[in-house]
Structure 1
Amino acid sequence: MLKQTVLDLMRVTGAFAPFRVANRSKVLILTYHRFSAAEADHKTSAQAFADHLQYLTEHYRILPLGQIADCIATGKTLPQGVAALTIDDGYQDFYDVAYPLLLKHRVPATLFVATDFVDRKCWLWTDKMRYLTAHTAAAELDVTINERSVKAAFTTARSRHKAANRVNALLKTLPNEQKEEALKQMATTLGVLLPAAPPAEYGAITWQQAREMDNEGIEVASHTVTHPILPNTTNEQLRYEMTASRARLEEELGHQVSLFCYPNGRQDARVQQATAQAGYRCAVTNQHGMNTLGTPLLGLQRVAPEPDLSHFVQSTSGFEEIKSVLRNGWYRRLAAPTTTAATVPQLFTETINQA
């Protein structure tokens, strides 16, 4: 409670403004997933998102990700204080809650969708475990995956969700087929029948909605076909996830699609190579940080903000990055034998620029 009070005070007194200004030459890319009309765990509420958009429009120039990618690719100078909004997965709550607010504030965004999810052919697999823990009559969970165990008591809705996330973290280490088999076994163990298609709570947008949003300035882009952890796929699976999703999007939208988002941000050299070979010119990760003209286009970093405004202002300002650089670099340089009182200002400037 005290920490939140201090954070709120820092926001209202403008304490984060110098950090935002220090990072104005970098590109801020934000990432969101789920939305809700009212406050709810693990989702961004309509009010919180409206507050975010209000703050962003007052302090940043918000551009489509595709335009930013063009500038980085050509070496063209970007305006100061640039930001982009990205939303992963393509849940229906984006269309219902976030999309109207983006239109109201006239803010562009990029929505990354898994095409089989929109086609109602699959779940987003991480939701399967959340569904299982939410609907089981079992009192606890005791499972071992990859020689690592998860034990949890189901006492509240929050404890059930937390247990699902712990299991999902282990499932992400498995090859795709083993992951799906493990989910089937857990459904049997927990005594829950998984519906063939996700229920409304976990449902996707429609293609009609995708086309509508695409025509209104929301870039609809690729998040693979089935949302697998790409480094865990075979070369054949990897090519399919990359190329088939792009082809399906272009079929439905009627234009070229060249933006990509790695599911769960997971990627490696092989995955990046496949991304380029599939014809994508830009891809975003879940690696935390801001971007410069030197950031690889197939490895753009993002910031995942917390819903409340004070945390949002802190995370978007680059405060944490600068604090980390100062902690790791500033004090060492300050203690160097060659440092004098006359060189301290220059050292500070150089350290800030490295953040």
Structure 2
Amino acid sequence: MIFRQLFEQESSTYTYLLADEASKDGVIIDPVVEMHRRDAALIRELGIKLIYSLDTHCHADHITGSWQLKEAFGCKIGLGSANRVNNVDNLFDNGETITFGKHSLKVLETPGHTDGCVSFVLDDQSRVFTGDSLLIRGCGRTDFQGGDPAKLYQSIQNQLFTLPEHCLVYPGHDYNGRCSSSIGEEKAFNPRIGGAASEKDFVGYMKHMKLPHPKKIAMALPANLNSGRIEGQEETVPQWAPLEHNFGGILQIDPQWLANNLDQVVVVDVRDDDEFNNELGHLPQALHIPLGQLEDSMSKLSKDKAIVTVCRSGRRSALASLALQKAGFEKVANLKDGMLAWTELGFPIAS
């Protein structure tokens, strides 16, 4: 199975991508709207056919990325059946399964943080994705959105703590750099509900936490009641060319588009002197600035015209494109796979 744990720093949110290696059918759990480009790039690079974007609950600290993923990949949006949210394709009841390839997730209703919280258990019970219901050495707050500490106690004890002790716990958040835990660990060491904690112990703890409300609650809740869809707000996309973000954060351009629009851009070849006229040649009218000289040569370049950086494979020129962007050049992209792709496709070269 393909499995990736991803992190969004501002709200300390974990997003999880799971896919079947054979069919490439996959699901994503708790995506964050600000990380859409990153998540979409990874999905494309791995060739995943996204079946579902799933949220463990209606979040109050960040806006879900589910709507943008649906727009980009045609996936369905899914939540627990207790949620009253617009633009949802499937509301799942307790015990239902969500299938992707030969794998599946079982839905567990785990209310208490909110009244609509669910957790997702992998079919072999090796992993459980707990959202905010159970955190690493903690749990979600219970003081708004229908939260109820007694319900959360029962959810954790009767739904999550009955899973095998080796089952790995993957939470919706962690604020201390911890990535995962296990059911056995949390049963033994969770300071709120582990060990011999009774329901009265847990409820007393939760009722006296006195936490401030999440910073983004005023914008997050209304947006998440629409599955992250915000009317009139579109993702910012560069207009000068059809660019692609890769998972490494690089803006790339397709060789075919560049071949059709060479006169519209400045091509900057950042290879060394001995490579510029080697067997791969170079693009017609390319400006030759070796990577080591780029910083001192930026004054030669205009910020009004789009720039495409080029090297042999697209790796050094990716670094060049980032350097140009950092220096204030807004229209910059890297030639995807460099001269190797350009020559393989038979586009014109000079030498």
Q: Structure 1-normalised TM-score?
A: 0.27
Q: Larger relative contact order (C-alpha < 8 A, sep ≥ 6)? A: 1
Determine which structure has the larger strand proportion and give its number. Answer: 2
Q: Which has the larger radius of gyration?
A: 2
TM-score (structure 2 length as normaliser) = 0.27
